[in-house]
Amino acid sequence: MSILISNDDGVHAKGLAVLAESLSRIAEVHVVAPDRNRSGASNSLTLDRPLEPQHLSNGFISINGTPTDCVHLGISGLFETAPEMVVAGINHGANLGDDVLYSGTVAAAMEGRYLRRPAIAVSLAGSLHFESAAEIALQLIQQVSQLNLAPRTVLNINVPDLPVEQIKGTHITRLGHRNLADQPVSSVDPRGKERFWIAGAGEPEDAGPGTDFYAVADGYVSITPLQADMTQYSGFDNLGAWLEGLE
């Protein structure tokens, strides 16, 4: 199997190195990742300048762009043959609920949705036990050929920050939801210009049983199937009735 690995924490992140080492036991691994931390980049592409691949001494390729840029190049331009699947991570911190809208890790996996096998985003709900997340990813990918999913499905995997022997198991989950984030933090730079820091994510609001928040908090690996189609099909009837009323 040929696997393309990327992330949003940057090409020098520990989680990336641990994941690449783990998956290299079962596959031919190519690593293409941003040259710096691009957390929160979501699905953005760089369209206003060329991208510059840099081949590092450890075999990784660094790109001066976004996670989506990295996977876009990795599956269509950097190698003679396209990889069979994309695995993104291991992210430093969870990507739960509404986080998937902003996550560069999830975006990197989403860019790999066209390939033969399901794309996977792997996140650790902390910053200690990357080996646990790598072991979970390895176990799942070894069995991925037996998985029958709709085309262009992405698996969003979140792993509790625990030693692997303390993880209770795996739950299939839906995305939970967060409250609105805190207000941006205002500051004034030395030249007197007002600046703003984006505040941290809001606290979980919809985090009950069945959600990814609940599973991870209870010590289980959360696996949520995602799709790029954001159409709200349940809204068709109400929207149609509203439009008829306007006529």
Q: How far is CA 132 from CA 78, 124, 196, in A?
A: 30, 9, 36
Task: Tally Cβ neighbours within 10 Å of residue 34.
Answer: 27
pLDDT of residue 154: 97
| d(C-alpha 123, C-alpha 15), whole Å | 9
Burial of residue 153, with CB atoms counted within 10 A of its CB: 0-12 exposed, 13-18 middle, 19 or more buried = middle
Give the predicted TM-score (pTM) of the model.
0.94
User: Percentage of the chain with pLDDT > 70?
Assistant: 100
| Alpha helices for the chain (secondary structure H) | 14-23, 67-76, 104-111, 130-142, 212-217, 236-246
* SS3 assignment, position 194: strand
Residue 41 phi, psi (nearest 5): -75, -15
pLDDT of residue 201: 86
pLDDT of residue 38: 96
Q: Pairing state of beta strands 61-63 and 54-55?
A: antiparallel
Cis amide bond preceding 61, omega within 30 = no
pLDDT band at 200 (very low <50, low <70, confident <90, very high): confident
pLDDT of residue 199: 85
> Using one digit for the tens of pLDDT, what is the confidence trace for 120-152?
999 999 999 999 999 999 999 999 989 999 999
Strand partners, 2: 28
pLDDT band at 161 (very low <50, low <70, confident <90, very high): very high
| d(C-alpha 71, C-alpha 43), whole Å | 11
Mean pLDDT score, 207-236:
97
How would you classify residue 59: left for phi > 0, otherwise alpha for psi between -120 and 50, otherwise beta? left
What rounded mean pLDDT belongs to the chain?
96
| d(C-alpha 6, C-alpha 34), whole Å | 8
Residue owning tokens 């080492």: 21
pLDDT of residue 182: 86
> Using one digit for the tens of pLDDT, what is the confidence trace for 62-101?
999 999 999 999 999 799 888 999 999 999 999 999 999 9
> Using one digit for the tens of pLDDT, what is the confidence trace for 4-61?
999 999 999 999 999 999 999 999 999 999 999 999 999 999 999 999 999 999 999 9
